[in-house]
Amino acid sequence: MAKSSSYTSKEPDANGFIHYTDEENQVWNELINGQLSLLKGSVCQEYIDALDIMDFPHDRIPQLHEVSQALMDHTGWSVAPVPALIDFTSFFKLLANRQFPAATFIRRKEDMGYLQEPDIFHEIFGHTPLLTDYRFAAFTEAYGKAGLAADKKDHAMLARLFWFTVEFGLINSADGLRSYGAGIVSSPGELVYALESDTPDRRPFDVLDALRTPYRIDIYQPVYFTLDSFDTLFELAQMDLIPLVNQARKMGMHAPTYPLKATA
Ligand code: CO
């Protein structure tokens, strides 16, 4: 989570409608067209199927109630508008109530390739489609509940689990390695880098390892964790995550394999 932002979320009007400028809608249009052209062979089939369900407009930023309706029909989730940055407790509380927090501003043209802060393209295009998958939705809800139950000192550790799955997860498929993390699927540059670069370390997903591995928010990821199936997340959703957090804390953090700047 960035400590400060040059962006501010846009406030919905009395009817819950958010007014975007032509230029902002144009940024959405460029981003969605660009990402859609890169998805084939890059992202998992579950995400592509979910995009069909969401059926996002291309010429304008969708309104949150439209996105919520599609989610509600499938898994009972909705999207809640939030300021650019929110604290851990508010974040966990929303997830536990099946509400995905969405910052409502969109990136400026000069930030097209990568933005540390989550903008509405990241939130909607990146995050919401997989929330129509019952396994992914169950994991995200269970994660929020675990966050509320966890001691404050373990929030940063739980943030790593979210980071290495929901934000930057990879998954094996019959056709090869694919991305599913929102941070990857909403980033033109990282979508290619995550699968094709020789630089990052790609490790099989292990919940304890993910809890213990430091990450950086300011560069393409040096480490990715790869799931074999979303069933793994569904199984985690049935478990009590707190004992795992306790175990990970006792085991201690993994030593970083890259320079630690702006880590979380
Ligand atoms: Co995100």
Question: What confidence category does residue 261 fall into, taking pLDDT thresholds of 50, 70 and 90?
Answer: low
Per the domain annotation, does 2 fall within a domain?
A: no
CA of 83 to the centre of ligand 1 (A): 14
Dihedral angle over CA of 34, 26, 18, 133, nearest 10: -10
The total number of structural domains that make up the chain: 1
Per the domain annotation, does 28 fall within a domain?
A: yes
Residues labelled catalytic: 122, 127, 167, 186
Give pLDDT, residue 114.
64
CA of 118 to the centre of ligand 1 (A): 6
What number is the average pLDDT over the span 165-178? Answer: 97
Q: Which residues surround ligand 1, an ion (CB under 5 A)?
A: 118, 182
What number is the average pLDDT over the span 175-199? Answer: 94
Domain that holds residue 97: 22-251
All residues at 6 or more sequence positions from 154 whose CB lies less than 8 Å from its CB, including other chains: 245, 249
Per the domain annotation, does 260 fall within a domain?
A: no
List the one residue out of 165, 168, 151 whose CA is nearest residue 243.
Answer: 151
Query: In whole angstroms, what is the distance from residue 173 CA to residue 40 CA?
Result: 13
Per the domain annotation, does 224 fall within a domain?
A: yes
pTM for this structure? Answer: 0.93
120 neighbors 105 (Cβ within 8 angstroms): yes
List the one residue out of 195, 84, 184, 100 whose CA is nearest residue 141.
Answer: 100
Mean pLDDT of the chain: 93
> In this structure, what token pair is assigned to residue 130?
């997989």
Q: Of 32-36, 116-120, 157-161, 164-168, which range is least confident?
A: 116-120
List the one residue out of 173, 184, 236 whose CA is nearest residue 210.
Answer: 236
Per the domain annotation, does 175 fall within a domain?
A: yes
What number is the average pLDDT over the span 194-207? Answer: 96
CA of 55 to the centre of ligand 1 (A): 20
CATH number at residue 51: 1.10.800.10
Question: What confidence category does residue 159 fall into, taking pLDDT thresholds of 50, 70 and 90?
Answer: very high
CA of 52 to the centre of ligand 1 (A): 20
List the one residue out of 238, 136, 222 whose CA is nearest residue 181.
Answer: 136
Give 207-242 pLDDT, tens digit per residue: 999 999 988 888 889 999 999 999 999 999 999 999
Q: Bridge-partner residues for 43, per DSSP?
A: 179
CA of 248 to the centre of ligand 1 (A): 23
Per the domain annotation, does 122 fall within a domain?
A: yes
